[in-house]
Structures are given as structure tokens and as C-alpha cells.
A and B are shown apart, each in its own frame.
Chain A
Amino acid sequence: MAQSKMFLVSENAVWRNDNMSILKVEKVTKRFGGLVAVDDVTMEIRQGEILGLIGPNGAGKTTLTNVISGLHTVSEGRIFFDGTDITFLPTHKRCHLGIARTFQIARPLKNLTVAENVMVGGLFGNGEKLKDGRKSAIKLCETIGLAKPNEVLDKITVLDIKKIEIARAMATKPKLLFLDEVMSGLNMDETREMIDTVRKIRDTGVTICIIEHVMSVIREITERVIVLDRGAIIAEGPYSEVSQQHNVITAYLGEDA
């Protein structure tokens, strides 16, 4: 109750469907020394949507994701997830609450097999027993299309490594999933397959925040986008509207465009 009151008094009045949002970021700033990577960001992610987080290189998209998932602590501001204040919660506890993520540069655990990578998510993110963890990991591999769950990681394709990232995050049974540039480096067929996968995940009830540079993907699957530039939000709304805005075009292409 105290938390929702805080939002009512907050001067930013964009919280329309208050109880529908799963994540609220309130006036979050993240500084690295003198560099302001995230600058006074206030945003929400609504239950069940696919939100796009876009912006030019260095806009602070990944830093914002890191702040939300707990890899960085905020310099200022508060973060609420599913009704709890998670601003100062350690990363693994945020994972237990239901925040999962993939990494921009895929980080497979090289000393484990495909299925074991996925198991780590299930065992520690979802508290599964060893036996159940193995079963559910193999099942997840099947669903996501990882053909060889017992393969070691040194002879595996880029697409499969991206799929491991997603499967491992999904194994933690998240409520909110951050996908950090999962489409980059994929060819058209693979991108198509990945879009289907993302849709399938959303249909199981998981809210998705997708960070992407491939605009055709953003146009196709997001219901709403947030545009970041130099750490601050410069636009918010459906992609078709946002992409016409002057300041968004300027951010991407420069003043003369």
C-alpha cells in the first residue's frame, strides 16, 4: 500500500493502468564516475506486453537492464517489481522473484553441456531438484529447438548459443524476461524462427522487454517501444508513431538528417 501511495504523489502522472504494470522504474539514475549512463529514467512495463527498448549505441539500454536485474546498483531512484521494492535486492534474489535476462554478448557456461546450461536456471532460479531439473531442461531444449541437449559447447552454432541463453533464462520460470539483442548476428530464417520463439514465450504469460537494433523485428513484435538516448527517455509509444518523431530520427541519424 505504501508503495502505491508513493506513486500517487509522484509528480509523473503517466501511471494509467496502475495495477497492470509488472515493473516500475522511478527516477533511476546510474552514474559511472562522471559518466551518466542512465539519466533520471521513469518507466513501467505492463503485464503481458512485449516492450521494445531501443536507442542508438551507448544510449544506456544494457545499463538500464543491468540496473533492473541487479548487476549494477542504482545511484538514485527506486525500482519496484510485482509490488516489491527491489532497489537494493541482490541479483540472485531478483531472479528468484521472477526477473530473468539474456546477455548481449551470449555467455554460455563453457564447462557444461547444453542441457546442463539450461539446468542451472531451473535448479537455482526455480529451486528444482536435480532430477526434475534435468528433465525440465531437456524438455525446454526440445521446445526451443535445441536438437542436441547433451552436446558440449565447442561445436555449436550462433543460433543455438542464443537459444541456450533464452532457454536458460526461461528455466528460471520468470515473470519478466529481458532479451538483450538476441537477433543480432542471425540470418533471415533464423531471425524468423527467433521471432516465433519470442511470441511463443509471451503466449505462456511471460512479459518481455526486448532490446534490439534490428528495427524490422521491433516493428513486427512490439506493442510499445521506449526510446533511450544518452541515458534518458526521449520517446514512448507504438513503434509506428515513435519512428516518425523528429527527436528519435535525430538521435539515430544526427541533426542534419
Chain B
Amino acid sequence: MKIIKPILLLIVLAAAVMLPLLTEAYFISVAITILTFMTLALSWDMMLRTGQLSFGTAGFFGLGGYAGIIAAADLGVDPITGIIIGGLVAGVVSLVLGMAILRLRGLYFAITTMALASVFMVIIRNLHKISGGPSGKVVLSTLFNYDSNKVYWFMLGVALITIVISEVFQRTRIHFAIDSIRADETVAKSHGVNIYKYLIFVFVVTSVIQGVVGATYALQYGFVFPESSFSAHYLLLPIAMALVGGIYSTIGSVIGAIILGLSSEYLKLIMPYGHLIIYGVIIVVVVLFLPNGVYGAIKDVLGFRKRRLEER
């Protein structure tokens, strides 16, 4: 059993890397979208593991996108440097904001983070000189000049790094800090956990990831636009993916992004716009009948069988 897991992982990884050589351009663009939302879903889930429901995903996604485009257009840096700048800007802003809003809890924290995207959008729409105002901003040198295979590999790299970070969070002492905070903050601090420090750390890390993804997304098309860059799409879809796949785990978000990403593309082809209905139904059914998500359900079944075998 112990050998099977790494081998399976290697096969999946090899398939993911080889994908551009095996399929056509349309499928690659779908894969890029799935990876983008997968990374966002994972970053949202990483924050959720601390017990804080954050709705700031779209805000930092859009902020990273704007920072990347502005850096590429006005400072003349190459797209990859632009992406790094996008992540850094999201990180710095989240650090400053986090110090204030991470004193809030529960609904108050959720609502405040929800406002972030709107606040960022209003500010950016009014900074005409820097951001291009309501008409958005365009840059000519896009990421790898529209070479979707290279973009795919780049995005795969970003997703893999995020997966590794997520697993590090699950396997080191950070795991015990954030799990105890989620379970009971009073117990956590009474046993020496510096709650505030860990919350800020996780908030900044996840915001940097969201900023990098936002900048990658923006620079791959070469433009940003207030309404679309801060769209609630980049908040709600990742949440749906994490819920469908299973929260509090790395694999959950990955599975959820693949299931919802593929099914939405397929449904779009057989019934344009009608796909949103079925999409909604999938989410409702999963949340109602598989409260731990698909991965949680698989784990429960396997765990149950294992226990049955042990009892014999």
C-alpha cells in the first residue's frame, strides 16, 4: 500500500506535465482555468482551516492582477516579474489590513473581508492615472506571448507550489496551531498558541497566493478591468469547488476544482447557459448529501471498510 501512493502521485504528475503534448489548445485553456480556480480554492480552504471564513479571495485576486499589469505596463518589467510584484503587493496589503481585521471573528470578519473586493474596486476605478479608471488597463507584452502551453506549465507550477504549501501547513506544527485555533481559541491561547501571529501568517500567505494567481490570470490576457478583475466569480466558484471536493484538506480542493471545472465546460457545450442550473444543482446535492465533500465521503467509506476488516 505504501508504494502505491507515491507511484500514483507520480503518474498523475507526469500526466499533468505531459498534457499539452497530448491534447489540443481548447482543452489546454480549460485546464488553465481549472488550475487557476484550484489554486484559489486551495488558498481559501487554507484560511478556513484556522476557523476564519474569508471572502477576500476576489479582492486579492484583482489586486494582484492590477499590480501585475501596472508593473508590466508602466514600469516596463517582464510579465514574470509582474506576477511576483502582484504577489508582493497582495502580501503587503493583506499584512496591513490583516493586522486590523484579524481582530474580528466569525460573521464580522467574514463581512469585512467581503467588503474588501468592493473597496479595492472603488479605489482602483478612481485612480485614473495609475489604473486606467473604469475602462481598465491593457499591456502589450503578455505572459509567454499567448503561448498557452507555456502558460499552462507556469500555472501548473503555481498550483503545485500551492499544493506543497498546503501540505506543509497540514504536516508541521502549523497544523496543530491552526487546528486548535479552529476548535477552540480559548484553549489554544491558554496552551501557548500565539493566535494573532498564526492568523496573520496564514492570511498573508493565502493572499500572496491569490495575488500571484490574479497577476498570472491578468497577464496571460494582458488586460484588467475593474468589474471583471474583482468579480465575485473569483470568490464563489473557488468556495463551491472546495465545498464539493471537501474542506480542510488539500486533495478536496483539487478534486472539487477538477469535478466542477470539467462538468461546467461539458455542460456549457450541451446546453449553453443552462449549465449554470445543473451546476447549482450539483453544489446543492453535494452539500446536502456529502457534507464532507467528495473526498470526505471517499475517506469515510474507506475508513469504514478498514474498521470492518480490523474488527474481523
Contact = CB atoms under 8 A, between A and B. Distances in A.
Nearest to A90: B189
Interface in A107-128: 107, 109-112, 116, 119-121, 123-126
Given A107-B186, A109-B184, A112-B183, A130 B192 contact: no
A103 interface: yes
Interface stretch (B76-84, B103-111, B121-129, B169-177): B169-177
A96 B191 contact: no
A130 B172 contact: yes
Interface residues of B, number: 19
Contact of A69 (B172, B180, B190): B190
Interface string A141-167: 000000000000000000000000000
A125 B186 contact: no
B52 to A, nearest CB: 15
A62 interface: no
Given A123-B173, A130-B172, A95 B192 contact: yes
A107 B176 contact: no
B176 A71 contact: no
A172 interface: yes
Contacts of A123: 173, 176-177
Given A92-B195, A123-B173, A130-B172, A111 B190 contact: no
Contacts of B186: 71, 103, 107
B187 A109 contact: yes
A90 B184 CA distance: 17
Contacts of B182: 111
B235 to A, nearest CB: 25
B193 interface: yes
Interface in B91-135: none
Contact of B179 (A69, A70, A96, A109): A109
Nearest to B198: A124
A119 B195 CA distance: 16
Contacts of B187: 103, 107, 109, 120, 168
B110 to A, nearest CB: 20
Nearest to A96: B192
Given A111-B179, A130-B173, A91 B189 contact: yes
Contacts of A96: 192
A64 interface: no
Contacts of A74: none
Contacts of A126: 192
Contacts of A112: 176, 179-180, 183
Most buried by B among A116, A124, A125: A124
B176 A92 contact: no
B191 A169 contact: yes
Contacts of A30: none
Most buried by A among B177, B186, B188, B191: B191
A101 interface: yes
A120 B193 contact: yes
Given A92-B189, A92-B195, A111-B183, 18 more contacts: A90-B194, A95-B189, A95-B191, A96-B192, A109-B179, A109-B183, A111-B179, A112-B176, A120-B191, A121-B191, A123-B173, A124-B192, A125-B191, A125-B192, A130-B172, A130-B173, A168-B187, A171-B191
